[in-house]
Amino acid sequence: MKIGIIGTGDIGATLARKFASRRHRVKVANSRGPQSISELAHEIGADAVTKEEAVQDVEVIIISIPFAKNPDLAHLIRSVPSDVVVIDTSNYIPQRDGQIAEIDNGKAESVWLSEMLGHSIVKAWNAVGATTLSDYGRQAGALDRIAIPVAGDDENAKSVAMELVEQTGFDAVDSGSLAESWRQQAGTPVFCTEAKAEGMKKLLELADRKRASRNLELILKELGERGGKRSHEESVRFTRSINIPDGQFEF
């Protein structure tokens, strides 16, 4: 499959590495230009290109940049054929992205972003931490295989995204439409809590928008105070303690 990835931070670079290892034809791009990622591209077997080149002659586009930067790509995404699958991995974090009134007033952030880009999108890999994505993928059927939620309105595009999630080492769970995608955003019970597939389906139902907003504030406060010095295991335990209502789920 031909895949263009825009954004080479922890999530984007990990996805590029995983897909290139599976013999997909991968192009990577970022805001600084091909030269800045030529070493990464050579290492993983991908092509370093411009953003414009990343969306040309591909079947899938993965956008992995901060949420507020996504609309900057609208002129590129609007130019691609309607059957190209566009996947977004970001989360709306007001403390970083600035307040977006429509989202704050109840519009699902993925719906807002789809409108901004002028192309139906699929939401995936946004509810998993970078370390989990890079180090905790497992073979299909493994007892400790973690799940990742996938939301979208286009069923064909969603099925492509779910297959790609499976290829990264995680069970893909259909979390519904873009209007329901808020259930997998930052601060919800599935966000960075490393649930397995059956458990994730239950956690999606427990999601509460107001609680999620408060949870995100607590998580960001803790990150600021601790400077990210928790171990991975400690971070997952902390996120579970914040995001999952007391007594409503056991791992």
At 251, the pLDDT band (50, 70, 90 cuts) reads confident
Other beta carbons within 10 angstroms of residue 93's beta carbon come to 18
Whether the per-residue pLDDT at 227 is higher than 70: the answer is no
Cα 233 to Cα 81, 130, 194, 211, distances in angstroms: 42, 13, 10, 23
pLDDT at 32: 95
- Locate tokens 């996947």: which residue? 87
**Percent of the chain having pLDDT more than 70?**
99
Exposed (0-12), middle (13-18) or buried (19+): which is 130, by Cβ within 10 Å? middle
From CA 169, how far away is CA 151, in angstroms rounded? 18
User: Tell me: the pLDDT tens digits for 15-57?
Assistant: 999 999 999 999 999 999 999 999 999 999 999 999 999 999 9
> Structural domains in the chain?
66-243 (3.40.50)
Q: Contact 123/151 with Cβ under 8 angstroms?
A: yes
pLDDT at 73: 98
